Amino acid sequence: MDENVLVEKQHKKGKLYTRERLELLFDNGVYSELTSEENRDGVWVCTGEIAGKKAVVAAQDFTWKGGSLGRVHGRNIVMAQDYAIRKKIPFICINDSGGTRVQEGIGALAYYGEIFRKNVQASGLIPQICAVLGPCAGGAAYSPAIMDFIFTVRNISQMYITGPKVIKEVIGETVTMEELGGSRIHSHVNGNADFEYDSETECLEGIRHLVEILPRNYKSGQKAETSYKVPSFHFQLPDNPRRVYDVHELINCVFDEGSFIEVKKGFAEASVPKGNIIIRKAFGGAYIAMNSKHLGAEEVFAWPTAEIAVMGAKSAVSLLYGKKIKDMPQDQAKVFYDEKVQEYTQMASDLKFGLEQGYIDHVIHPEETRKALSDWLRTSGHVSRRGIRKKHGDIPL
């Protein structure tokens, strides 16, 4: 498709096209791609200089299959993360995605887990920055939460685990995209976002400024910049001790002009044997986050009753075949819907793919659970769990 058409599609949504974003982010708009155009699969992986520092960027392209994450797409992001970790340079992800490519099932989910694990490995080693410049749905919403900084834009950013349609179907509640996961919610209510802007241009400039201030990695430190002006000290506390004052006025009198950025802090980590038993439903982000192989579980057991999929059968059928079902006569629609729900349920219950790929180690009967865990724990204490050497870790996962 003509790129001008793609640009126009993004502009109609009030968003910039991927190339425009990259040109604003990299110095002089110059960057090189680490993948060929044919292998992008909806994500541009690029490297270049940002504020004079080498960095790598994975920018999702909503005009390609809604920016959905499939296996190739996920592999590209993991490659970008590996590149950043190996070179010890900042990693920046521009999120603009509808979520998991449902048709690819557990194969797509696996790469979300791999992305999360790389996030944890990179934490404390290199800066990790996320810009939510469109939808950031489903499994995609987990990664920003464990990165160092989240940037949002009013009326554009949307970050949520499950969309309004699924919420309506499952619990009967009506909620808008903005109420569910808009910029205001994450910037002013739950505190997930670190920065909020009125436009993408301002947001990308904010990222450039942050990269300029941050060190490349935890070992590089930051050289003093002579370009910053020394502020004059003019702050005075109110005479009345009960009177409030703006602490930013004090900060602006102490820090180099233009160098202060207000952000959140917090980190912790532990190293223990990690095992997992899937006894029933393991859908979407819950499959990944509940100690899956992709987050480093050493042994994964599953009962015969286990179901692993992107989402529940009814929600998946509504998403994949909703328009087709709507156009059918009512009696045919019900038969078709029931058949597809049954097919999807059988697919989710088939553990063969997970076993073949090594995502599941053993299928065990419930009564074998204690012995299976006991046998595993008896040997797991001898496994080395030495991770990447770095300053600090991320939240426990």
Asked whether 96 and 135 are in contact (CB, 8 A), the reply is: yes
CA distance readout (Å), 10 to 19, 86, 150, 170: 11, 33, 21, 31
Residue 266 annotated to the active site: no
Cα torsion for 154, 155, 158, 164, to the nearest 10°?
140
Q: Which of 14, 29, 191, 286 is catalytic?
A: 286
Known catalytic residue: 138?
yes
Catalytic, out of 134, 139, 182, 284: 139
Among 20, 14, 79, 1, which Cα is nearest to 45's? Answer: 79
285 has catalytic annotation: yes
Q: Which of 42, 98, 113, 138 is catalytic?
A: 138
Which residue of the set 98, 285, 312, 393 is catalytic? 285
Nearest to 219 by CA among 55, 83, 89, 51: 89
> Is 172 one of the catalytic residues?
no
Catalytic residue annotation: 138-139, 285-286
